[in-house]
A = this chain, B = another copy of it.
């Protein structure tokens, strides 16, 4: 494996390092490169060979987060069926990655004027498109803009990830809490008429 062995080895290690870093930075967003290396079970030198610096690492994590979001969007088939159910599927798909997303969400606020990864714009557009579709179909109210609903979804995901990490809410309730609050709000339905859904 002298001519291509390094490719696959680097690839799997890179994946593992990325996962470890994501898990660590989710809990401690200011973790040192040294801590990240330890968490991945490698030395700082090796970490630095794979990622030129902390910036490169964060960018790689950003790319990972974007890929996971797009995978979630695809898996949730947000174009099919009622928008309500699509939102439910989307949150369920994103749930496992909410921690990483929360980290990237807060990290993005530091990029200031610098160029934002275009991937986020694509994801924003697809999520906003889902809300727009729900509005067009009459499922969703139209007095809340899709842009705000998208931001609110991110905020709820981050809050829920944080609350779960802090032990303030049970992990099993994650999807239910977000979806129910986002879709139905906190106000109790007024009509005592029969309701099919839970």
Contacts and interface: CB of A to CB of B under 8 A. Distances in A.
A168 B185 contact: no
B163 A148 contact: yes
B169 A162 contact: no
A34 interface: no
Given A154-B159, A155-B155, 19 more contacts: A29-B110, A106-B106, A109-B162, A139-B187, A140-B188, A144-B186, A148-B169, A148-B173, A148-B181, A151-B163, A151-B168, A152-B160, A152-B177, A152-B181, A156-B156, A156-B159, A183-B187, A184-B187, A185-B185
A147 B181 CA distance: 13
Interface string A144-182: 110111011011101110110000110001000100111
Interface of A: 28-30, 84, 87, 106, 109-110, 112, 131, 134, 138-141, 143-145, 147-149, 151-152, 154-156, 158-160, 162-163, 168-169, 173, 177, 180-191, 193
Nearest to A177: B148
A23 B70 CA distance: 35
Nearest to A147: B168
Contacts of A181: 144, 148-149, 152, 182, 185
11 contacts: A29-B109, A138-B188, A139-B188, A140-B188, A149-B181, A151-B159, A151-B160, A151-B169, A152-B177, A155-B158, A182-B185
Contacts of A30: 110
